[in-house]
Amino acid sequence: MDTTDWLIGVDVGGTFTDLYAFERTSGALALHKRPSTPDNPAEAILSGLRELAEKAGFEAGTVGVLAHGTTVATNALIQRTGAKVAVLTTKNFRDLLEIGRQVRPRLYDLKADHPHPLAQRQDRLEIDERIGAAGEVVTPLDEGSVDAALKALRDGGAKACAVCFLFSYLNPEHERAVGRRLAEEMPELSVSLSSDVQPEFREYERFSTTLLNAYLQPLLNRYMRHLKSELETLAPRARIGINQSSGGLMSPERAREFPVRTALSGPAAGAMGAVHSARKSGRPNVITLDMGGTSADVTLIRDHEVSTAFDREVAGFPVRLPMVDIHTVGAGGGSIAWFDRDGLMKVGPKSAGAVPGPACYGHGGAEPTVTDANVVLGRLSGRGLLGGAMALDTQASHAVMKPVAERLGFTAEKTAQGLLDIVTANMVRAIRAISVERGHDPRDFVLMPFGGAGPLHAYGCAKALGIREILVPHSPGILCAEGLLVADLSENLVRSQRFPAIPENHEAAQRLVDEMVGEAGDWWRREEIAEERRSLKLVVEMRYQSQNYELQVAVPVEGLSARLPAMERLTELFFEAHDRAYGFHNPDDPVDVVAVRLTAIGRLPTPGAPTPGPRATTTPEPVERRNVWFADEAPHYTPVYERDTLSPGAVIEGPAVIDQFDATTLVFPGDVARVDDALNLMIEVET
Partner 1 sequence: MTTSTTIDPITLEVMASAMRSVVDETFIALMKSAYSTNIKERHDHSTAICDRDGRLIVQAEMSLPIHIASMTGLMTSVLSKVKLEEIEEGDIFVANDPHVAGGTHLPDINFAAPVFVDGEILCFVCNIAHHADIGGMVPGSMAGGMSEIYQEGLRIPVVRLFRRGELQRDLFDILLLNARIPEERRGDYYAQIASAQLGVRRVKEIAGRYSAATIRRAFDDLVTRTRARMRLAISEIPDGTYTFEDVMDDDGLGTENIPIRLKVEVTGDRAVFDWRGSAPQVRGNINVPVNATQAAVAYSLKALLDPDIPNNQGVIDCCELLTEPGTIVDCRAPAPVAARANTSQRLIDIIIGALAPALPHAAVGASNGANTTAVFSGTDPRNGKPYLYLETLGGGFGGRNDRDGKDGVQVHITNTSNLPIEAIETEYPLRVVGYEIIEDSGGAGTFRGGAGLRRIVQPVGHRCTFNGAGERFTNAPWGVFGGGRGRPGRFVLRSDGEETRLPVKPSGIEIGPDDQVVVETPGSGGYGDPHGREAEAVADDLASGKYSADFARKHYPQASTGATDPAAAAE
Q: Which is nearer to partner 1, 174 or 280 (CB)?
A: 174
Output the DSSP codes for 101-121: TS--SSTT-TT--PPPPSS-G
The CB-of-617 to partner 1 minimum distance in angstroms stands at: 41
C-beta separation of 259 from 224 below 8 A: no
How far CA 675 is from CA of 214, 281, 379, 472, in Å, comes to 48, 10, 21, 10
Q: Which is nearer to partner 1, 204 or 575 (CB)?
A: 204
The CB-of-133 to partner 1 minimum distance in angstroms stands at: 4
Helices (H) and strands (E) in the chain, counts: 16, 33
Q: Which is nearer to partner 1, 363 or 432 (CB)?
A: 432
How far CA 654 is from CA of 287, 380, 457, 686, in Å, comes to 23, 16, 15, 10
Q: Which is nearer to partner 1, 407 or 615 (CB)?
A: 407
The CB-of-107 to partner 1 minimum distance in angstroms stands at: 6
Dihedrals phi, psi of 299, to nearest 5 degrees:
-150, 160
In the chain, the amino acid numbered 393 is D
Q: Which is nearer to partner 1, 387 or 549 (CB)?
A: 549
CA 470 to chain centre: 21
Q: Which is nearer to partner 1, 280 or 578 (CB)?
A: 578
The CB-of-109 to partner 1 minimum distance in angstroms stands at: 4
The CB-of-186 to partner 1 minimum distance in angstroms stands at: 22
Using CA atoms, how far apart are residues 459 and 467, in angstroms rounded to an integer?
A: 9
Output the DSSP codes for 618-643: SSPPPSEEEEE--SSSS-EEEEEEEG
Using CA atoms, how far apart are residues 549 and 545, in angstroms rounded to an integer?
A: 10
The CB-of-31 to partner 1 minimum distance in angstroms stands at: 37
Q: Which is nearer to partner 1, 80 or 104 (CB)?
A: 104
The CB-of-286 to partner 1 minimum distance in angstroms stands at: 21
Q: Which is nearer to partner 1, 91 or 674 (CB)?
A: 91
Using CA atoms, how far apart are residues 443 and 288, in angstroms rounded to an integer?
A: 13
Would you tell me which residues interact with partner 1 (CB under 8 A)?
Answer: 92-96, 98-99, 101-104, 106-111, 113, 120-122, 132-133, 138, 166-167, 169, 201-204, 339-346, 408, 410, 418-419, 421-422, 425-426, 428-429, 432-433, 436-437, 498, 544, 546-549, 578, 581-584, 586, 589
Please state the length of the chain.
Answer: 687
The CB-of-92 to partner 1 minimum distance in angstroms stands at: 3
Using CA atoms, how far apart are residues 279 and 285, in angstroms rounded to an integer?
A: 9
C-beta separation of 610 from 545 below 8 A: no
